[in-house]
Structure 1
Amino acid sequence: MLYPFFDPVSKNIFLAQAEIDRKRSVNGEKTLTGTIYLSDELIDKIDKRWSIKFGNETYIIDYAKQMDQGNRKILDFDATHEFFDVFTKKQIYEEYNGSHTFKWYLDTLFKDTGYSYNLSVDVDALEKENWGMTNRMSLFADLITTAGLEYEINGKIINIKKEIGSDLSTIVRKGFNLQDLNIESDFSNFVTYMEGFGAFKDPEDQSKGRLHVTYKSPLADTYGILEGEPKVDERFTVEDNLLQNIKNTVDNSIAISLDMTLEDLQNVGYDYAMAQPGDSIMVINEVMDFRQKVRIIETTESFNIAGIKVGTDVTCGSLSMTDKQQAADAETSSLIDRIANGKDKIPPSWLTDFIVQNSEALNNARSELKFTEQGIIAVDKNNSNNLVIFNSAGMGISTDGGKSYENAITAQGINATAIVTGVLKAIDIEGVNITGSKIQADEFSAIVDNMVPNPSGGNWIKQGESRLIVNGNSFEFSLYNNSNTNLGSLFMDRSGYIILDGQGHQVGGVTDEVVTSHAIMTPLYDRQGWGLAGFYIGVDTTNSGELRVVDKKGLPNSGADPSNYIYANVRARGFLQQSTEKAKENIKPIEKAEIYKTKALEIVEETKLYEYQYKGDANKQIGFIAEQSPRGILSDEGNAVDIYKTAAYLWKAIQELQAELKEVKANASRN
């Protein structure tokens, strides 16, 4: 597969074959390592700040090593996702102190970076001292670690969540889609019992006691009481929250990591979700007596030179080592066995992140209802900033004590920070980013505004728009400026025409000329000394089926006279005329041909050459005029000179001239 590499100095794109490994992890890491096969025709070097486009995302190359292997040159490279490069190369040149909201920190970091974020969890305000005066990547990583969150990169959007990934129904089993399995266990911190101490009941009189909880793991019945260090944190005021915290510590006190090599069975038709970083999957290996649900923390995918994924290595961590988790796994074991043995279908992926988060939020909420003149208000007992109001105007959900409602339903419509649904039916959908696996409609059209900041502040300014129209008969993509003038279009219909028209511009050195079996028009523009390049490539179906390259102004229409076409120059390394006898019939020496009634030498002698100019072209030319030339060197229609026929006549003329020369020499020797 040819991957595009971008040179930021020349602004050109170079194509090269490469073998690539892509590494992704739950900490947001996205990197590439690869090997490029260098060649003079494609790419012969990699330099500073070059980038590669892979999976519709840009990676900046930060390491390159060129090697000579005798008969070929190769180059090993490492590349980092553009997000990390941007955030590492942009600094915060101020220091801040005190407490700020998590959103304030993120807004400060993401400002003027070209990236935006989507925060799907509530995070308490953070107090930082001397925050700043370093690169944004270090500050961002510190925020994520402090808040105990994870993030993933999706194009230009950074999704920040409590945990990324989903709880999949995917099964990984030895002999099915699991090649290798390595299990590494660390028992050094294994505990079965722990106590937690929270806030004092009366801060003014600590003798009244404090919040105190204990937790004993079911594994204590087998391994005994192994006590962990007490959890002491006065910020805990709710018993359930503190108990859950120490329970998680005990249940995950055994550190287990798994390294696996998976088979991607989607390539051979199995309909199941291929695991991604953050996903939870069921791993079964009867040989090692292992049956456990685990979470993927890192994946490395290998792609061969054809761009085909040939392997996936994953690193996992155990979700839980308690009997409760094992019992939960056992409840689904019968279904798992049926699926793994081919007796049942693998169901779709289970609850998505949004559904899980919303379900937990609703089930765990402790609310106080207030009946007021505004309506019914439900207030979170643990955080009074979280409230829901319901009245005759609609329903609103606030996280700032009712100052604003980012999620609301009223007569004017619905506003929401995120909507997750199985089916969405609408007449018009407007959005900045719309992603998905399939869009189906009788006719689909989209208009995307090109907005730029207003230098004087206020609302952004519209600079133009992009329009996409797709239906059962045609595909059209067009660019317009703010005056509604078409800047360029790409159009394709069922008749086989692909037209690239308008003012168009070269993009990164990739040419716009694409040859199809029917017709193409390319834009008119100047390309660094190549001159005007607007032309039409098409097959003339009305006459001999010629492939013709015509100037844009000479685009042939139905019934047009080919003699009036304005043809463009064609430059190539060579032009080869098919000449094998396997492609010919009725072969005879030229002396016996009907077309050879006049000697070639006489034809050459009688055919005049002219100086002329093509219409619309100031350059002077020297050559033939079809109407004043012998039929034998013309095209079938008689309006063009056939270079191959002309060369053949010249060849024959030389032979005739050589024969006359021999005869003269023979006569001279006899005299």
Structure 2
Amino acid sequence: MGKRDLNVPLLYEANETEFLHSGICSLSETVRCEVHEVMNAEFELELEYPVNGLHAHELINGRYISAFVDTQRGYNPFEIDTVEKDLFADTFIVKASHQTNQLRKKMVKEFKVDKVSCGMAMNRLKNALIEPTSIQFYSDIETLNSTWLRFKNALACVGGVEGSILDTWRGEIERTTNKISMLKKRGTDSGVSIAYRKNMTGLNINTDTLDMVNAIMPYAIKAVGDSDTVISLSENYIYSPDFVAGNEINAVEIDYSSDENVIDEKTLRSVAKNYFSSSVINEPILDLEISFQDLGQTEEYKMFQNMNRVFIGDTLSVFHDELNVQTTARMVEFTMDSLRGEYVNCTVGSVKSDLKSTMTAGMATKDEIEAGDNRMQEYVDDLTKQITGNQGGNLVIRPPEKPAEMLIMDTDNISTAVNLWRFNQMGLGHSKTGYNGEYTIGLTQDGKIVADLIATGTLRAIDIEGVTISGSAGYFDVLYSSFLPSKPSPQYREELQMGGGTGFNLQAQSTTKQYPAMQVRLNTNGDLGLAIEAVNENTGAIDADRVVRLSPFAGIETPLLQSDGWCCIGANPDGKTASIDRHTWVSGGGPQLRYVPHRASNFETASSEEYKKNIRKVKKTAFGKTAKQVINETDVFTYSHIADETNEKKIGFIAEQASDSLTTADGKAIDLYNSVAWLYQYAKENEEEKEALKAEVKELKNLVNKLVKEVSE
């Protein structure tokens, strides 16, 4: 490959964010440039440049080197970390890390999300940064999860510590220019196959059969009332398809407790028998290390030529003839000769690394005990102190014969005792006012607990009535409320539901109608936005003309932007707007356009060169017409609006009879900004003609004067 074919690295300033131009300079004298990436771990560059090179003095820490990574991602920027002199050569060794590593410098005081998708978590993390960043955050993982980190850098929150997004959502990190993504899975099925043979040059293979499993022991533990039911198989195991009777069993347990379809042994067996069809747990783990430098031009080299179209994360097939196994593996690491666009070496195997092994950030420092746990511990400590700090009381069995009750009192005499516990067939109670009560703490035989305060770690309840909860955080799978206000009619029942896959949903429904009249919903499973919608009470259909939807992704969606009760602005999907009389819209059977005036101190049209391109001065026939022709093609009319009951007389244009240079693309409206520009151009051309005529008149006047003088003489 000739020098003209090299992928020359480019050098950029430290504050560069776009990398769309040629930068400070091209580093064409580069001796060596290699990019090294490990799945979910480091992404680095090492460059060798002559000490006496033309741009050696420009290689400064913090600047970026944009270098070729692969044909999928093209050039990517790497921030210079160190510049060292090679002791054995007249070159500098420059080490740089991918642009997204700048997130190590962006700090977060607190990053807390609860039951959100990974995409939402990535967005929340970016918003939590103390200092902004130009790096984009993205994820395609829709699984809901929660995490909480404090006082960390942004890259640690992405994948560097326990509780990070990588640790919690279990994705795969992809890093490109100006973007860091957490993907379900990187790469595709490459369709490439490698057949391993012993003593192949340039290829080392590690075969791990230690964790191969040929059977699973499925089980499920289901809560039924206050007890747990254990479900397992009478035959104990589900075997892999290649298991042969008599083989040694190597099994693992698989928990199906969270599977709602598993309710008994039959359903457990049905679900578990499909385990091996979706898992490779019964296959050996093959890790291949391929060195293209060692391959040289050997016979095996031809076999690996198709590796040039395999990228990190891609899956390929591996056949091991000694084990007689066909399995799949993924490219998880590579070193690229960036100058030539060829692999130096790569590893095909299992994803093992993550950013935790490559960063110096400490482990996450979550609060081990949250506020609720602290409060519970206070109660436990208080109970322990009271029980262990007392020497007991006076135990009395009264009366000595049956039936009897047990008393524990502060004196040994019932008539003088004030604080006492009384335990008999009807229950257990405590009184601070003597034997006959009142009893303010107790447990009755029919299941009632009476107490001023109940401290509990977990409370399971069917119904909780007449309660006020304060000073605590509530966590609900589903929160539901239904309230019917008092009369007069018609009564509209207010129903609120949160969670359970519905997000937030508030409805107002008449007691006489089948469907609600209005609903407010915050959807967390789809369009991710807030909607206020009018509903047909008889059919349940949402009235598309009476909705307001607000989303950080889709913006504002509404057919009406109502002003002071009489005028609305309607906007269609392509952004065209019309003024609409509100009463005509509501009572007239739909959007019957009635144009009404708008009044403002000024209407401004964006006209900065920031918004325009291909800027050229207008020539007289730039559009095939002169401004004079455009004006002559367009007549001015008087008219009145059809919907104007006053028949006010106006002057203006008729779009169908105006020059196409003045009308919009659909031919239904006049582009006023365009019209002003043509009129201005016409005025300029008239001014030029006027000046030319003035010069001509002056010349004729001089000629006449000259002739008059000659005649006089």
Q: Answer whether TM exceeds 0.5 for this pair.
A: no
Choose 1 or 2 for highest CA Rg.
2
TM-score, normalization: structure 1? 0.43
